[in-house]
Amino acid sequence: MKTLQQLQAIIHYQFNDELLLKMAITHRSFSKNNNNERLEFLGDSILGLVISGHLFNRLESASEGELSRVRASLVKEESLAMVARDIELGEFLRLGSGELKSGGFRRASILSDALEAIFGAIYLDGGYRQCEKTILFLYQDYMVTLPAPGDLKDPKTSLQEHLQGQKIELPVYDVVNTEGKSHDQIFTIECRIEELSVLTEGKGSSRKKAEQMAASKALAQVKK
């Protein structure tokens, strides 16, 4: 495992209290009571604020909805995991034996949580301005060309706007099947547009994901 000094060199920040950084890279599987969950909670909020401020100043003509969509694209789990992989964060994580064997150091959820925890630790150790500086440094490659707000609309929103523009009644979403145990369910959702005789189906680990998949398929059909 790499050292805390190496990680601090990579993120361009030297901690006054290295115990905060040690806590930030400690997963719950390693220590039930002394792990990064609370720091992750703090870092999540700070990340949102830093990215919001940056986008507010940079995208002067963007609406509130457009700013929200661009921010969401930057702070979502997949984006955080990409940043974490850029700095090889997985090689620094303190994981329990089970997570080590199952490749937890590569898992997006673990990587994203740890990165947010580091942001929280930096905030406590060096203050908001230092945390902002570190976040923007780590995100610099992703800030060069920001995605167009219009390209970030989710399928449900895009489908709704398309149908409204055509003066067609909005789709109806119904749960047609639920499989698996309560903590690991798969939802099957139907999206129905009566006026166009469109019926599509989507599956996902949450109702929202299944609806988005069904909406995406419906959108593809109505735009043919």
- Given its phi and psi angles, is residue 88 left (phi above 0), alpha (psi -120 to 50 degrees) or beta? left
Please pick, among 44, 99, 113, 132, the residue that the annotation labels catalytic. 44
Q: Which residues pair with 199 in a beta bridge?
A: 192
- What are the structure tokens assigned to 222, written together? 């109505």
Active site residue 17: no
Active site residue 44: yes
> What DSSP letter does each residue of 104-139 carry, written as one string?
GGG-HHHHHHHHHHHHHHHHHHH-HHHHHHHHHHHT
Please pick, among 99, 116, 190, 211, the residue that the annotation labels catalytic. 116
Task: Give the pairing type, strands 186-193 and 198-204.
Answer: antiparallel
CB-based burial, 19-28: b 16+ in 10 Å, e otherwise: ebbbbbbbbb
Task: Give the pairing type, strands 198-204 and 172-179.
Answer: unpaired
CB 215 within 8 A of CB 162: no
Its sign, for the CA torsion 132, 138, 139, 140, is: positive
Neighbour tally for 210: CB within 10 Å: 25
Residues identified as active-site: 44, 116
